[in-house]
Amino acid sequence: KYRHLWVQCENCYGLNYKKFLKSKMNICEQCGYHLKMSSSDRIELLIDPGT
């Protein structure tokens, strides 16, 4: 029912809330593992808005 709100870590299998995961640059809150990120999400992190 609420699976679309959570992302499971590939390393520790802990659950991360999707909204917070994006603000933490896809780093697992439990173990610090760097989760996969789409190319568009990565570009959004690197480029300043309006450029």
pLDDT tens, residue by residue, 8-43: 999 999 999 999 998 899 999 999 999 999 999 888
Residue 3 in this model has a pLDDT that exceeds 90: no
Residue 5 in this model has a pLDDT that exceeds 80: yes
Residue 5 near residue 17 (C-beta atoms within 8 A):
yes
- Between residues 12 and 48, which one has the greater pLDDT? 12
Q: Any idea of the CA torsion for 15, 16, 19, 23, to the nearest 10 degrees?
A: -170
- Closest by CA position to 29, among listed 41, 45, 13, 5: 13
Residue 1 in this model has a pLDDT that exceeds 80: no
pLDDT at residue 6 in the model: 95
Tokens, residue 36? 């996969």
Q: Give 3-state DSSP helix, strand, coil % of the chain, rounded to 5.
A: 35, 15, 50
